[in-house]
Structures are given as structure tokens and as C-alpha cells.
Amino acid sequence: MGKVNFDVGVSLDGFLAGPNQRLEEPLGDSGEKVHEWMFRTASFGREHGQGGADGATDRDDEIVRERTENVGAYIMGRNMFGGGPGGWDESWKGWWGDNPPYHTPVFVLTHHPREPVPMEGGTTFHFVTDGAESALEQARAAAGDKDVQIGGGADVIQQYLRAGEVDEFQLHIAPVLLGGGARLLDGLGNDEIKLEVVRAEESPLVTHVKYRVL
Amino acid sequence: MGKVNFDVGVSLDGFLAGPNQRLEEPLGDSGEKVHEWMFRTASFGREHGQGGADGATDRDDEIVRERTENVGAYIMGRNMFGGGPGGWDESWKGWWGDNPPYHTPVFVLTHHPREPVPMEGGTTFHFVTDGAESALEQARAAAGDKDVQIGGGADVIQQYLRAGEVDEFQLHIAPVLLGGGARLLDGLGNDEIKLEVVRAEESPLVTHVKYRVL
């Protein structure tokens, strides 16, 4: 069986996204700065259908490639699929474009039942209305020997951390202060979760640190 | 002229100290876990008069030594000197022992005027009642060509960061979640402070990351 992990960029003050997240600015004010190191890589360009031919091919690029190479299914919250005002009728297929960067089944936690939505490139969005545990069971079954990656948001990641379901995670810590927004590691109390550093890697634009949950 | 810096251990969720800081537990609940990597080093043992002969002499140990070697004066808040309930009469010399690990002038921000307190080993506590800017002027004058290090707490560090007075800082990020307490990087808004990674170093117990403020 694969592992359950998450792999996200955070600001130095711990935010996944800045304040004032909205449809036109899903990462919130200045939130895109957290991911600048990633946007410039060749792998990110390829994943997001922008070719990536002129992208960086350094260690950051390898790390972008690594983060998805063993993932067999994703779990995400409704907002990460593409919530937002008015965004939940049957014609709306999320904000990841026609060919989302997942290329596997994606299990979306929601209260609104909906038929699965197959997309180009192997991504199918499945909508799970009976809770996080059920989503994880379904994702594990779909992933087989591969890993399940929890995409976000912060609340979804916290839910699985608290439940003791996360085996490993990687943070890409950007030298940026957002001052507000969605804090990744919040309300995760004292002594409940024991961690160990697997590795830390330096880059001029970000620090990559991987943790194992004991 | 030297630089103004700070150099502190934080939990992965960004706390300098855990919840419920009190006289018997000045680092708060589980707060000492943030510093375990440091307590085990030979340099820490020597600095704190515990000999250190059986301490670790690895890269963590070098980093502990480096963090103070060019410091000519410190600034700290009243609580870091040794505030706490009832702890402010003339006989109270803080909780750093007879021979504090500073060995330089230390400027303590407070509202209570008090004569300087010379200690063993070269530390003298000076009490500054006319604000952070005055403390920095006095510390710079005392440090000469050496650096001024802001010891803490979080509120004091934030004050100097906000005022644009910090040139560099190092965080020792421990794989520990405290879930509450004194958050180092809090209320430091969006776009006011620009940072650059100077270096990041891996260790099994902590990740050392040094930043320059642009």
C-alpha cells in the first residue's frame, strides 16, 4: 500500500494562501509569491500545459517532478476543486482547465452530491459526500500501490493530520511573509503529532523540508 | 558598523514558546522541545556553564557557536530578562544565573527604571525605559563594529522587523508542533518586509535557515 502525504508551498509565516482569497485571486493577496520558485521550473510548465521548454531544470525542478511521480490519487476540498461564489452548477468543472495537472482520480470533499466529472489527460473528479474517512478509503483503493496525496486546503490537511492518517509531508518554505490568510499548521495541538525530519534542501528561492509523521 | 540580527528556535508551526508560559516553565508547555537540538551540543553546555564535555560536536554545535561569535550587544524584552509574577525588585537579577550566557552589554526594554546590573563573565544588564529605538542606539554604540542581536521575545523581534531595523536572521525550525503560544512571525503584513534566503542547512533534529532582509 502507498503512503498518504501532502506537499505544499507555505510562506515563512506559515500561510498556504494570503488574505482575501477570491475567484479572481484564488491564492489571496500576494499568495502567488509563495509559489514563484515552482512557476519558473520546466516541470511546472509541462504539468500545466505551458510547454515548460524555457523553464529552469535545476534541483527545484526535480523536486517539482518528484512530488507527483508516485501519486495514484488525490484528495482535495471543495474550494480547491473550484468553489467560490456561484461556482457549483453541473457545467462548472473547477478551475484547473480542461486538462488538470492530476492525471489520476481526484476525490473532492463536498456536501453536494454530483456525478463524476472526467477530464482530459486522465483526471476524473469524484465528489465524496460521506466524509474524509470515506474519501481516503476510496482514494487508497484507486491508488493501489501508489500514494494518496492530500492537495488542500489547510482545513482538509489538518483534518487528516489530526486523524493520524498522514505518513509524510513536504513543505516548500518561501522567504515571503503574507501576514494573514489560511495557516497550514494551526490548531494542531501540543504532543499529538510527532515528526521527524527526512531531509532539508536549500535553494535560493525556497527551502524544501520533508517530514515523516511518527 | 555591525549588523542587527536575531537567531531563534521555532516550532514548525511558528512558535518561539509554547502555551502557558510561567515562572516554572518559561518556555511554556513543551517549549523546551524546540531547543532539544541545541541543548545536546557541546557549545550550549559550555555557554551555560555545564561544561559541555560530553556534548555533540557536529554541525549543529558549530551553528550554536557561530550564532553568538560576532555579537557585541543584545537587546531583549523584560520577560526574557526575567519578568514574571513578582519578579521585579532590585534583588532579582533575571533567570540567567550568576554568569549569563551573553558576556556583553544586554539592553532590557522595560517601563521600570533601574541601575545597571553587572554580572559575572562580562554580562551587564542595562534597563532602557525610553523605547526600542533608544535601546538600539545604545546597543549599537556598545557593540561597535560587532553585531547587535535581538534576543526576544516575539513582540520585541516583531517591533524591530516592522521598523526595518533587522538586517539578517536565522531560524532553527524544529520538527515539533506546539499548537499555541508566542508566534514569532505574526501580524507582519504582506509586502512590507522582503526577504532572501542566505542558506539552509539540514540536520536530523532541526532545519537551520538564514535570511537577509532586503
Three-state secondary structure call for residue B128: strand
| Cα(A98)–Cα(B109) distance, integer angstroms | 58
Whether B30 and A205 lie within 8 Å, measured CB to CB: no
Which pLDDT score, from 0 to 100, does residue B112 have?
87
Q: What is the ipTM of this complex?
A: 0.91
CB contact under 8 A, B185 and A30: no
Residues 140-179, chain B, touching A (beta carbon < 8 A):
173, 175-179
CA atoms within 13 A on the CB side of B47: 20
Q: What is the mean pLDDT of residues A51-70?
A: 89
Please list, in sequence order, all residues whose beta carbon lies within 8 angstroms of the beta carbon of residue B43, skipping any fewer than 6 positions away.
Answer: B52, B55, B61, B62, B64, B65
Preceding peptide of A87 cis, ω within 30°: no
Summarised one tens digit per residue, pLDDT across range B34-77 is 999 999 999 998 887 666 678 899 999 999 999 999 999 999 99
Question: Is A200 within 8 Å of B190 when comparing Cβ atoms?
Answer: no
> In whole numbers, what is the pLDDT of chain B averaged over residues?
91
CB contact under 8 A, B177 and A196: no
Task: Give me the pLDDT at residue A68, please.
Answer: 92
A22-33 pLDDT, tens digit each: 877 888 888 999
**Can you read off the three cell numbers belonging to residue B166?**
533587522
pLDDT digits (tens, 9 = 90+) for B134-193: 999 999 999 999 999 999 999 999 999 999 999 999 999 999 999 999 999 998 976 679
Query: Percent of chain A beyond pLDDT 90?
Result: 73
User: B192 to chain A: which residues are within 8 Å by CB?
Assistant: 177, 179
pLDDT of B213 > 60? The answer is: yes
Q: Check whether B131 has a pLDDT greater than 70.
A: yes
Contact B101, B38 (CB under 8 A): no
Which of A146-160, A189-203, B195-209 has the least mean pLDDT? A189-203
Q: With pLDDT > 90 as the criterion, what percentage of chain B qualifies?
A: 73
In this complex, which of B13, B201, B204 lies closest to A188 when CB atoms are compared?
A: B13
In the chain, the amino acid numbered A87 is G
Given a cut of 60, whether residue B96 has pLDDT beyond it is yes
User: How high is the pLDDT of residue A77?
Assistant: 94
With contacts defined as CB-CB under 8 Å, which chain B residues touch A207? 197, 200, 207, 209
| Separation in Å, CA of A155 to nearest CA in chain B | 15
Residue A154 is inside which H or E element, if any? helix A154-162
pTM: 0.93
Residue A206: closest C-alpha in chain B: B197
pLDDT tens-digit series, residues A189-211: 766 799 999 999 999 999 999 99
Nearest-CA distance B122 → chain A (Å): 35
According to the model, what pLDDT value does residue B50 have? 66
**Chain A CA closest to residue B179:** A189
Model confidence at B5: pLDDT above 80: yes
Say if the Cβ atoms of B202 and A201 lie within 8 Å.
yes
For residues A60 and A41, the answer to whether their CB atoms sit within 8 Å is yes
Environment class of A162 (CB within 10 Å of its CB; exposed 0-12, middle 13-18, buried 19+):
middle
Q: How far apart are CA A115 and CA A120, in angstroms?
A: 16
Q: Give the separation between CA A22 and CA B114, rounded to whole angstroms.
A: 52
Distance from CA of A141 to the nearest CA of B (A): 31
Give the per-residue pLDDT at A93.
84
Is A214 near chain B, with CB under 8 Å? no
**DSSP state letters, B153-212:** -HHHHHHHHHTT---EEEEEEES----SSEESS-S--TTTS-EEEEEEEEETTEEEEEEE
Short-list A213, A211, A205, CA closest to A11:
A205
pLDDT at B1 over 90: no
* pLDDT at position A91 over 90: no
- Find the mean pLDDT for residues B22-45: 89
DSSP state of B3: -
Q: Closest chain A residue to B207 measured between Cα atoms?
A: A200
Mutation target for B interface from A157, A207, A208, A210: give the one with most B CBs within 10 A.
A207
With 80 as the cut, is the pLDDT of residue A53 above it? no
d(CA B6, nearest CA chain A) in Å = 15
pLDDT at B191: 67
Whether pLDDT at A37 is above 80 = yes
Rounded to 10°, the helix A132-143/A154-162 angle is 90
Half-sphere exposure of A59 (CA within 13 A, CB side): 10
Work out the minimum CA distance from B99 to partner chain A, whole angstroms. 33
Three-state SS across A87-127?
CCCCCCCCCCCCCCCCCCEEEEECCCCCCCEECHHHCEEEE
Which residues touch A69 (CB under 8 Å, ≥6 apart)?
none
Identify the sign of the CA torsion B77, B81, B83, B86: negative
Comparing CB atoms, the residue among A13, A195, A205 nearest residue B12 is A195
Residue A14 has pLDDT above 80, yes or no: yes
Q: Which residue has the cell 515571503?
A: A176
pLDDT-derived band of residue A163, with 50, 70 and 90 as boundaries?
A: very high
Closest residue by Cα to residue B101 from B149, B145, B55, B56: B149
pLDDT at B87 over 70: no
The predicted structure's pLDDT at residue A206: 97
* DSSP-based three-state secondary structure for A24: coil
Q: Could you report the per-residue pLDDT of A105-120, keeping only the tens digit for each?
A: 999 999 888 999 999 9
